[in-house]
Amino acid sequence: MSKITVCARFRPLIARERQERGDSFCIERIDDDAFLLKDEKEGEFKFNFDKVFYQDSEQADVYAFMARPIVHDVLTGINGIIISYGQTGAGKTYSMEGMGVLSTVKSSEGILARTVAELFAHVSSSKEYADYSVKLSMVEIYMEKVRDLLDLSKDNIQIKETKSQGIILHQITEILLTDVEAALRILSTGITNRAVGETQMNLSSSRSHCIYLFSVLHELTGDKRKKCAKLMLVDLAGSEKVEKTGAEGKVLEEAKMINKSLSALGNVVCALTRSSKSKGDGKENHIPYRNSKLTRILQDSLGGNSRTALLCCCSQSPANASETLSTLRFGARASHIKVSPRVNFTGHRQMKTVGVLSPAKDESSEYVGAEVVEKPEVGHVKLLEEEMLSLGEGSGLNFTDSEEVLSPFSMQLEEAMKDLASSLEQLRHDNDVLEKKQEDARRKITVNNNITLLSTILKSLKPLWPVFGWIPALRIPKCSFCSFMQ
């Protein structure tokens, strides 16, 4: 297992911040991975991250440290995700897109453009021994609806889950990319369709969470199996305080939904952090992925089978110290999450890619196992050895240690057992409820049968009622029920 890579990035002061507080800062640099934050209300805090990008950092620095290792892993069949998080106007979209994906200013290129260039540079240099295909999908989560940015007619994409493919976006558009220029044009078109708005803190504020999905299929010459991986680049909308943004009307409603989904993301991160700390104590920790569309889509990536990097974008102005502190605390919590990335295979059969957000079913082990059962020859044993070695490479395990070899499988089995136990407990509860309802129904039937029998007896005695009513010697008074029956 490995942990999430968490970095902080501080943008330069803008004109409005200089007017409010001059050239003062709320952070004090210690070194390249630590700094002090001073908040007038809450005091001084020290933060340590994997890397801190101060205002003099370049776009290339951010990409080289955070994104390039993940892109390289994706090209070898390991899933990856990079998330930009922070206050509105803190530089999240600039880190992802730069001055625009079609900008000719190379120094300002963001993670998106550099990722596309890296992908196709590798594809071009590997033509002699490998065959790659790269597909692109783009969606945004706007007002809790998932919209396809490459086909605006699909404005309410459904999120589904399957055993073989995990979380998928139903009928999402996928476009096969052929070269860097075509890819950037498609990205530019999708970005143009994204919802934006104007606030007092940002003239072009993102009003939605945007997800860029690259699906990479990798086939080595002479190898029967194919490796598949997905790379997700997530540009989150910024958290907002209404008194600072001046949001009203539609923009205010958008801000409410943005903050609600970011709050859900924070709850998931907290739950995953608790889950990582409580591993081995036997306690099951619920992760509230279903509380928002954002966390539901990210379910397979957060704390799962994916290399994960988080970029916390912040303002260093004292005027935004409280928002910066909140962002950094989120990053500090996320740094405790453990992930278990591994190499993903598709086997002989074709990977289903249309509408797929999660990688296709891993059929390689099923296929190899079937062959060995039919013909347990030396060649098949070697194939199984290769399978185990590839899994070891993907998960970073040392196969000289049997416990480490079994750990990912044990973890998956443990999770499956926990899910089974939870389902069994729910079934028991439902069964108890049904038995109680059944017992109540039996009692009602018994009472109704007794009432029916009594009514029949009394009706059969009705001709005798006048006799009993006037013979004094019997002294049998008329009951209220008899009066009713008369």
Q: Would you state the pLDDT for residue 130?
A: 86
Q: How many CB atoms lie within 10 A of CB 21?
A: 16
**Shared-domain flag, residues 181 and 301:** yes
Pairing label, strands 226-235, 307-315: unpaired
Q: Would you state the pLDDT for residue 437?
A: 84
CA separation for the pair 141, 210 (Å, rounded): 7
**Shared-domain flag, residues 8 and 70:** yes
**Shared-domain flag, residues 209 and 284:** yes
Q: Is residue 346 part of a domain?
A: no
DSSP-derived 3-state class of residue 423:
helix
Q: Which of 398, 427, 456 is where one domain is finished? A: 427
Q: Is residue 14 part of a domain?
A: yes
Q: Is residue 33 part of a domain?
A: yes
Q: Would you state the pLDDT for residue 414?
A: 64
What's the CATH number where 275 sits?
3.40.850.10
**Shared-domain flag, residues 46 and 74:** yes
**Mean pLDDT lowest for which of 19-28, 309-318, 346-355?**
346-355
Q: Is the pLDDT of residue 481 over 60?
A: no
**Shared-domain flag, residues 298 and 390:** no
Q: Is residue 74 part of a domain?
A: yes
**Shared-domain flag, residues 372 and 463:** no
The string of DSSP codes covering 137-190 is: EEEEEETTEEEETT-TT--SPPEEEETTTEEEETT---EEE-SHHHHHHHHHHH
Please report where in the chains the tokens 């029998």 appear, as a residue.
Answer: 453
Q: Is residue 352 part of a domain?
A: no
What is the average pLDDT across 7-12? 97
Q: Would you state the pLDDT for residue 278?
A: 62
Q: Would you state the pLDDT for residue 469?
A: 57
**Mean pLDDT lowest for which of 158-162, 184-188, 409-413?**
409-413
Beta bridge partners, 232, equal 81, 213
**Shared-domain flag, residues 207 and 313:** yes
**Shared-domain flag, residues 297 and 216:** yes
The structure's pTM equals 0.71
**Shared-domain flag, residues 158 and 190:** yes
Q: Is residue 296 part of a domain?
A: yes
Handedness of CA 118, 120, 122, 124 (dihedral sign): negative
Q: Would you state the pLDDT for residue 276?
A: 66
Contact status, residue 465 vs residue 457, Cβ threshold 8 Å: no
Task: Measure the N-to-C terminal CA separation of the chain; round to a whole number of Å.
Answer: 83
Q: Which of 306, 339, 372 is where one domain is finished? A: 339
pLDDT tens digit sequence for 211-267: 999 999 988 877 778 899 999 999 999 887 776 777 678 888 888 899 999 999 999
Q: Is residue 274 part of a domain?
A: yes
Q: Would you state the pLDDT for residue 370?
A: 38
What is the average pLDDT across 311-334? 95
Contact status, residue 140 vs residue 208, Cβ threshold 8 Å: yes
Domain of 386 in residue numbering reads as 364-427
The string of DSSP codes covering 428-458 is: HHHHHHHHHHHHHHHHHHHHHHHHHHHHHHH
**Shared-domain flag, residues 325 and 376:** no
Q: Is residue 316 part of a domain?
A: yes
**Shared-domain flag, residues 322 and 184:** yes
**Shared-domain flag, residues 370 and 464:** no
Pairing label, strands 226-235, 80-86: parallel
Q: Would you state the pLDDT for residue 412?
A: 59
Q: How many domains does the chain have?
A: 3
Q: Would you state the pLDDT for residue 411?
A: 57
Q: Would you state the pLDDT for residue 418?
A: 67
CA neighbor of 37 nearest in space, from 22, 25, 50, 20: 25
Q: Which of 322, 339, 356 is where one domain is finished? A: 339
